[in-house]
C-alpha cells in the first residue's frame, strides 16, 4: 500500500469512527457527511471520496455493528451440548445489548438504509441471524415441523424485548420485588427453552425473588 493509499484508508476509518460518535451524541438523524468533515478538519468533499452519501456511511457503521455483534456471539463460552450452547448464546446476546447499547440500537432499533443498495450491511446482518438459526437446528427437542427461521424469530423477539427493557428506563417506574431484575435473564432464557420443547426446570432462585420487600420500598424505608 502506498502512502497515499494509506492516508485515504486512514481518512475512511476516521470518517466511520466520527460518524459513530455523532450518532452516539445526537442520534442518527443528525448525521451528515458535511458535519463529519468539519469535525475531522478536512474539506467538505473529502468524505465523499469514500462514501457516496449519508446512507452509505450509515450502512458501513451498521455493518460494523453487526460484525462486532457476531464476533461477540462466536466468542461466547461454549456449552457441553446444543442446549447449553443456545443458553450461552442467549446470555451473550443480552450481555452485548447491555455492554454496547449504541451498537445494539443501530442494529435493531434504527431505520436502516435501503438493503438492496447496501448488500454488505445485509450480508453481515444475515450472518448474525444465521448463528442463531444454526444453533436452533442442533437442538434435539426442537419440533421439526416448525421452520428453524420461525423459531429463531421467536427467540430473537423474546431476547430483544428483554434487552430493550433492561437497557431502558421502563423498570424504574415499577415497584418490583428484590431479585427480579437479577433473575430476569435466566428466567426468560429458561422459559424460551421450555417453549422450544425442553422440559422446564424449577427456577432455583424463586424464593429469593419473592421474599422480602421490593427494592424501591427498601430504599424508602432506609430513607435513601
What does 67-135 look like in DSSP terms, one character per residue? HHHHHHHHTSPPPSSHHHHHHHHHHHHHHHHHH-HHHHHHHHSSPPPPGGG-HHHHHHHHHHHHHHHHH
More confident residue, 79 or 138: 138
Q: How far apart are CA 134 and CA 111, in angstroms?
A: 27
Chain length of the chain: 224
pTM over 0.85: no
Most trustworthy range by pLDDT among 2-11, 184-193, 196-205: 184-193
Task: Say what the pLDDT of residue 112 is.
Answer: 93
Question: ∠ CA(68), CA(69), CA(75), 5° rounding?
Answer: 90
Mean pLDDT of the chain: 87
Which residue ranges make up each domain of the chain?
A: 1-51, 52-222
HSE-CB for 86 with a 13 A CA cutoff:
28
Residue-wise pLDDT for 171-199, tens only, equals: 777 888 878 888 999 999 999 999 988 87
Whether residue 54 is predicted with pLDDT greater than 80 in this model: the reply is yes
**Predicted confidence (pLDDT) per residue in 62-77, tens digit:** 999 999 999 999 998 8
Query: Among residues 161, 165, 141, which one has the least CA distance to residue 151?
Result: 141
**More confident call, 45 vs 217:** 45
Selecting from 1.20.1250.20, 1.10.510.10, 3.40.50.1000, 1.10.357.10, what CATH number does the domain 52-222 have? 1.10.357.10
Cell of 28: 442518527
Q: How far lies 224's CA from each of 169, 173, 176, in Å?
A: 20, 17, 17
Higher pLDDT, 173 or 84: 84
pLDDT mean over 137-155? 88
Provide the pLDDT for residue 214. Answer: 47
Q: Could you give the CA distance from residue 105 to residue 9 in angstroms, rounded to a whole number?
A: 27
pLDDT at position 52, please?
A: 96
More confident residue, 121 or 204: 121
DSSP letter for 214, please: B
Average pLDDT (3-13) is 86
pLDDT of residue 77: 85
Per-residue pLDDT at 210 = 45
| CB-CB neighbours of 221 under 10 Å | 9
pLDDT at 118 over 60: yes
What are 69's three cell numbers? 455483534
pLDDT at 192: 93
User: Which superfamily is assigned to 1-51 in CATH?
Assistant: Homeodomain-like (1.10.10.60)
Amino acid at each position: 500500500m502506498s502512502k497515499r493509499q494509506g492516508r485515504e484508508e486512514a481518512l475512511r476509518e476516521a470518517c466511520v469512527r466520527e460518524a459513530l460518535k455523532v450518532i452516539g451524541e445526537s442520534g442518527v438523524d443528525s448525521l451528515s457527511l458535511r458535519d463529519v468533515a468539519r469535525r475531522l478538519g478536512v474539506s467538505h468533499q473529502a468524505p465523499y471520496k469514500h462514501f457516496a452519501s449519508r446512507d452509505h456511511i450509515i450502512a458501513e457503521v451498521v455493518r460494523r455493528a453487526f460484525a462486532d455483534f457476531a464476533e461477540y456471539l462466536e466468542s461466547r463460552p461454549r456449552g457441553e451440548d446444543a442446549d447449553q450452547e443456545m443458553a450461552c448464546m442467549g446470555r451473550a446476546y443480552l450481555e452485548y445489548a447491555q455492554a454496547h447499547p449504541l451498537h445494539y440500537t443501530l442494529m435493531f432499533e434504527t431505520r436502516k438504509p435501503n438493503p438492496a443498495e447496501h448488500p454488505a450491511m445485509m450480508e453481515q446482518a444475515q450472518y448474525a441471524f444465521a448463528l442463531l438459526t444454526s444453533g436452533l437446528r442442533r437442538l434435539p427437542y426442537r419440533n421439526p415441523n416448525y421452520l428453524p427461521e420461525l423459531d429463531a424469530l421467536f427467540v430473537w423477539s423474546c431476547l430483544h424485548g428483554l434487552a430493550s427493557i433492561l437497557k431502558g428506563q421502563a423498570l424504574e417506574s415499577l415497584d418490583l420485588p428484590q431479585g427480579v431484575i437479577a433473575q430476569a435473564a435466566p428466567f426468560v432464557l429458561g422459559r424460551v427453552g421450555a417453549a422450544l420443547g425442553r422440559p422446564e426446570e424449577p427456577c432455583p432462585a424463586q424464593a429469593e425473588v419473592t421474599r422480602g420487600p421490593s427494592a424501591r420500598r427498601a430504599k424508602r424505608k432506609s430513607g435513601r
